[in-house]
Amino acid sequence: MPTRTHLDDADILLTRKEASRELAALGIRRSPGTLAKIYSTGSNGPPCVHLGRTPYYPRSLLHAWVRRQLTAPRASSREPRRPGGWPVAPAS
């Protein structure tokens, strides 16, 4: 699946704190500090844009990043991880 790297006109920009809450609502716990560290170390975190020095996370790109991170279901840890193939919702 192609990765979206652009903003839609209607996309909502979230601060790190808001992005952290959005992820928590999806069941993924990442503190604002963890999001900052992931970004600064280039550790395959969610994409963000900047306005001056302030980072913002486009909601649609944050959700697409989560779907790309999910693996396919496994019955045990001995099974290799496979991409989940979870659909990335189209931008509205």
pLDDT for the residue numbered 72: 83
SS3 call for 13: strand
pLDDT of residue 81: 80
The count of other CB atoms within 10 Å of the CB of residue 13 is 17
Q: Which amino acid is at 18?
A: E
Q: Which of 16, 18, 17, 4 is nearest to 60 (CA)?
A: 4
pLDDT, averaged per 10 consecutive residues of the chain (92 residues), comes to 56 95 93 95 92 95 90 85 67 46
* pLDDT on residue 11: 85
Looking at the chain, how many residues does it have? 92
> In the prediction, which pLDDT does 92 show?
45
Q: Would you state the pLDDT for residue 33?
A: 96
Do 60 and 91 meet the contact criterion of CB atoms below 8 Å apart?
yes
Q: For residue 22, what pLDDT is reported?
A: 95
